[in-house]
A = this chain, B = another copy of it.
C-alpha cells in the first residue's frame, strides 16, 4: 500500500485519523497519543480498542431515562427506592453522577445527552425532547427539576423545556442559583452575587 511520507505507514495514519475524531483532539494531540500508545502502552491500545468495540456493541439507551445502559431499563429507573413523582433533567450522565454524589435526591432522571445549541445546529429535534415529554407525561411525575448547566446553552434549554412542560400541567423547578458552598464573597463573580441577591431567602 502506498504510504504518504508526511503521515507514515497506513495503520499509523489511520490511527491518527481515528483519534482526531475524539472531541478536543487535533492532529498534534492525535499523533502524540498514537506514538505514546504504540511505543509505551500497546497493552493500553489493545484495551482501548476492545473497550470501544464492547461499549458500542453492548450499550444502548435506557428506554425510560435515556442514559447508557446494558439492559432495557437502567438500574436507577428500576429501583423501587426512587420517588417516581420527581424527574430531574440533566445534560449528561456525568451531571447525573454529580447529583447522585450529593446524596440529596431520591427521584428519577432523564438524561438529554446534550443541550440546545443553535450555533452548533443542535435544535429540539437533535435532542430527545419528544421522548422526554412522553416520559414526563406518564401521569406519575408531578415535578420536573431542570438541572441543565448554568451556561448560555443550558439556560436556553431549561427555558425551552420549562415552557413545554408547564403547558402539560407539570410543576417545573430549576436548581437554585447562588453563592457556592464554602466560598468568600470577595472572590465570587458579580453575576452570581446578583443572582444570590435576587433569589435571597428568609433565614
State the A residues within 8 Å of B (CB). Answer: 3, 5-12, 14-15, 17-19, 21-24, 28-29, 31-39, 41-42, 44-56, 58-59, 67-70, 74-76, 92-94, 97, 100-101, 113-114
Residue of B nearest to A101 (CB): B6
Shortest distance in angstroms between A105's beta carbon and chain B's nearest beta carbon? 12
* A7 surroundings in chain B (CB, below 8 A): 97
Bound together, the chains give a CA A51 to CA B50 distance in angstroms of 11
Known A48-B52, A56-B38; contact A94-B28, beta-carbon cutoff 8 A: yes
Bound together, the chains give a CA A68 to CA B38 distance in angstroms of 9
Judge whether B9 and A69 touch: CB under 8 Å.
Answer: yes
Judge whether A18 and B5 touch: CB under 8 Å.
Answer: no
Selected A-B contacts with CB under 8 Å, 16 pairs: A7-B97, A8-B68, A8-B97, A9-B68, A10-B70, A11-B54, A11-B55, A11-B70, A12-B55, A12-B59, A22-B33, A24-B29, A37-B56, A38-B59, A49-B53, A52-B52
Known A7-B97, A11-B51, A18-B51; contact A46-B39, beta-carbon cutoff 8 A: no
Other CB < 8 Å A-B pairs besides A10-B70, A18-B50, A49-B51, 14 of them? A5-B76, A7-B97, A9-B74, A12-B93, A14-B51, A14-B54, A15-B48, A15-B52, A21-B37, A31-B92, A35-B92, A35-B94, A48-B48, A49-B56
Shortest distance in angstroms between A74's beta carbon and chain B's nearest beta carbon? 8
Shortest distance in angstroms between A93's beta carbon and chain B's nearest beta carbon? 6
Bound together, the chains give a CA A11 to CA B47 distance in angstroms of 12
Judge whether B114 and A39 touch: CB under 8 Å.
Answer: yes
